């Protein structure tokens, strides 16, 4: 049975060790930082931050299994830890567990946005999530394309053979059956093209893109003139260029910006269907 | 007057779509049946020597027909009336938006409907209940474009019943 004062002494020592670890970390001395955090953990194993800090060090050394272990422990202690979910997500992606990794990254993003929508972490998490979603799409769409291609060829072959068997005519005789067969193949091509359309990268519709950067929206906001921009970009414009709407040139203050929730939903629906659009150049 | 013109235009666009889509549906149905028949016959011809009704061949043939169904379903999807996406509809009437306006709370409504609400019910946002004046309404141009793009691809949605 540990006495009250011994408990708080341990806690104070652990905090000191954490500060030491942070200093080592800033100097890129990850081994030393890990040692310090490990000692802190030994003294006070139920403080989530010690685990996530150590996980950060493991991440810098690319020791992903250790990242996973420490993050899982941190999540057990604090389910709302943004950093823990984020790094767990990254670790799972490293193991090629794409679905689970994406789930964790999404959790981290939702928690992060809830806490501080303009925090630097939110940007970084979004970038990693977009990368992962793109990989998921790439994997699924290759499989789909191959399936479509095989089936298309099988149908073309089957239709041709059937036509040959059903309607053997002397050469040069373009009869009704012949025309209908050519039309069949044409419609077949159209059908397969349509079925595979969503997987073919093309131009994202204008109304889903920022009027300044022309990139697909992340956090769209609308001005009193009715124009929609990417939040970070318009804020930057207002600060560095001038307090006016870039397109209509009407006066504009950042307090007048309204989140275009409907467009945000539209963007998500588009990304769900066209995973290639997650690729951010 | 404008409303009347719009109603007639919507009716005409719907008829246009109905005509074109019947033709497309018929074309798709014929072709799908032709493919299924051709694939089945080919499967029967290819595998009709003794001892080779292998499970593998049967499964692969069943899978073919399954994928074929999916392909034709996707190819004809846009022509099948369904639910217009939420974000293209007024949050009060749930109808597709014609002249969308957005409030300072970020919610988008049909202009005439929200104006009526402000006049007859009260000067607040119906969804968030925050104070709202008609001068604060902003045309949601991006959503207006999105609605047009949706109608271009899904003509059945012109049917406003």
* Secondary structure class of A259 (helix, strand, coil): strand
* Cα dihedral: A66, A69, A72, A78 (round 10): -70
Q: Which chain B residues are closer than 8 Å to A143 by Cβ?
A: none
CB B103 within 8 A of CB B125: yes
Q: How many CB pairs under 8 A join A and B?
A: 116
Res A46: pLDDT: 94
DSSP A196: T
Reply yes or no on whether the pLDDT at B89 is more than 80: yes
* DSSP line for B9-32: HHHHHHHHHHHHHHHHHHHHHHHH
- In this prediction, residues A201-224 reach a mean pLDDT of 94
Nearest CA in chain B to A228: B142
Share of chain A above pLDDT 70, in %: 92
Q: Which chain A residues are closer than 8 Å to B140 by Cβ?
A: 222, 226, 260, 262-263
Res B52: pLDDT: 53
Reply yes or no on whether the pLDDT at A1 is more than 80: no
Banded pLDDT at B61 (limits 50, 70, 90): confident
Res A71: pLDDT: 97
Res B121: pLDDT: 96
For chain B, what is the radius of gyration of the CA atoms? Answer: 25
* Secondary structure class of B124 (helix, strand, coil): strand
Res A242: pLDDT: 95
Res A182: pLDDT: 87
Q: What is the ipTM of this complex?
A: 0.89
Q: Which chain A residues are closer than 8 Å to B72 by Cβ?
A: 191, 195
Distance set, CA A228 to CA A191, A217, B34, B103 (Å): 36, 9, 49, 14
Judged by a CB distance cut-off of 8 A, whether residue B108 touches chain A is yes
Q: Which chain A residues are closer than 8 Å to B64 by Cβ?
A: 151, 154
- In this prediction, residues A117-124 reach a mean pLDDT of 78
DSSP A229: E
DSSP B106: S
Q: Which of A148, A192, A224 sits opposite B138 (nearest CB)?
A: A224
- Mean pLDDT over all residues of chain B? 90
CA neighbor of A190 nearest in space, from B19, B18, B24, B153: B24
Span A9-44, pLDDT tens digits: 899 999 999 999 999 999 999 999 999 999 999 999
Judged by a CB distance cut-off of 8 A, whether residue B22 touches chain A is no
Tell me how far apart the alpha carbons of residues B61 and B42 are, in angstroms, rounded to a whole number. 10
* Secondary structure class of A281 (helix, strand, coil): coil
Reply yes or no on whether the pLDDT at B50 is more than 90: no
Range of weakest confidence among A40-54, A72-86, A147-161, A170-184:
A170-184
Reply yes or no on whether the pLDDT at A146 is more than 80: yes
What the block records as the tokens of B58 is 């049967």
Q: Which of A154, A206, A262 sits opposite B64 (nearest CB)?
A: A154
Q: What phi and psi, each to the nearest 5 degrees, are found at residue A49?
A: -60, -35
- What is the end-to-end Cα distance of chain B in Å, rounded? 20
Single pTM value for the model: 0.84
- In this prediction, residues A51-59 reach a mean pLDDT of 97
- In this prediction, residues A254-263 reach a mean pLDDT of 96
DSSP A215: S
| Cα angle for residues A143, B70, B43 (degrees, 5° grid) | 85
Q: What is the 3-state secondary structure (H, E, C) of B50-105?
A: CCCCCHHHHHHHHHHHHHHHHHHHHHHHHHCCCCCCHHHECCCCCCECCCEEECCC
How many CB atoms lie under 10 A from the CB of residue A26? 9
* Cα dihedral: B29, B33, B35, B39 (round 10): 160
Strand partners, B139: B101
Between residues B161 and A54, the one the model is more confident about = A54
Tell me how far apart the alpha carbons of residues B14 and B151 are, in angstroms, rounded to a whole number. 10
């Amino acid at each position: 049975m540990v006495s009250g004062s011994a408990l708080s002494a341990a806690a104070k020592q652990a905090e000191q060790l954490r500060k030491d670890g942070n200093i080592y970390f800033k100097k890129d001395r990850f081994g030393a930082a890990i040692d310090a955090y490990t000692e802190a953990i030994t003294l006070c194993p139920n403080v989530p931050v010690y685990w996530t800090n150590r996980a950060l060090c493991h991440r810098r050394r690319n020791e992903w299994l250790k990242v996973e272990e420490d993050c899982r422990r941190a999540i057990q202690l604090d389910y709302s830890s943004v950093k823990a979910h984020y790094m767990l997500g990254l670790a799972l992606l490293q193991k090629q567990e794409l679905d689970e990794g994406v789930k964790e990254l999404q959790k981290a993003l939702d928690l992060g946005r809830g806490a501080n929508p303009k925090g630097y972490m939110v940007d970084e998490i979004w970038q990693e999530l977009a990368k992962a979603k793109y990989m998921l799409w790439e994997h699924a769409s290759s499989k789909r394309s191959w399936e479509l291609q095989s089936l298309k060829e099988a149908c073309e072959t089957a239709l041709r053979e059937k036509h040959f068997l059903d309607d053997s005519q002397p050469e040069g005789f373009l009869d009704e059956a012949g025309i209908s067969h050519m039309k069949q193949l044409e419609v077949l091509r159209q059908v397969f093209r349509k079925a595979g359309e969503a997987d073919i990268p093309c131009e994202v519709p204008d109304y889903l893109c920022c009027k300044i950067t022309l990139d697909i929206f992340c956090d769209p906001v609308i001005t009193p003139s009715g124009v929609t921009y990417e939040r970070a970009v318009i804020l930057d414009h207002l600060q560095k260029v001038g307090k006016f709407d870039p397109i209509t040139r009407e006066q504009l203050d950042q307090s007048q910006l309204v989140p275009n929730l409907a467009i945000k939903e539209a963007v998500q629906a588009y990304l769900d269907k066209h995973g290639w659009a997650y690729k951010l150049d | 007057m404008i409303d009347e013109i719009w109603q007639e235009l919507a009716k005409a666009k719907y008829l246009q779509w109905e005509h074109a889509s019947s033709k497309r549906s018929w074309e798709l149905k014929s072709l799908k049946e032709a493919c299924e028949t051709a694939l089945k016959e080919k499967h029967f011809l290819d595998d009709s020597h003794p001892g080779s009704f292998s499970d593998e061949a049967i499964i692969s043939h069943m899978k073919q027909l399954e994928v074929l169904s999916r392909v034709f379903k996707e190819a004809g999807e846009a022509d099948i009336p369904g639910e217009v996406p939420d974000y293209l509809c007024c949050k009060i009437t749930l109808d597709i938006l014609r002249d969308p306006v957005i409030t300072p709370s970020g919610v988008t409504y049909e202009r005439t409907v929200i104006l009526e609400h402000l006049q007859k019910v009260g000067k607040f946002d119906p969804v968030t209940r925050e104070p709202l004046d008609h001068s604060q309404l902003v045309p949601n141009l991006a959503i207006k474009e999105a609605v047009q793009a949706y109608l271009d691809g899904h003509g059945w949605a012109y049917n406003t019943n």
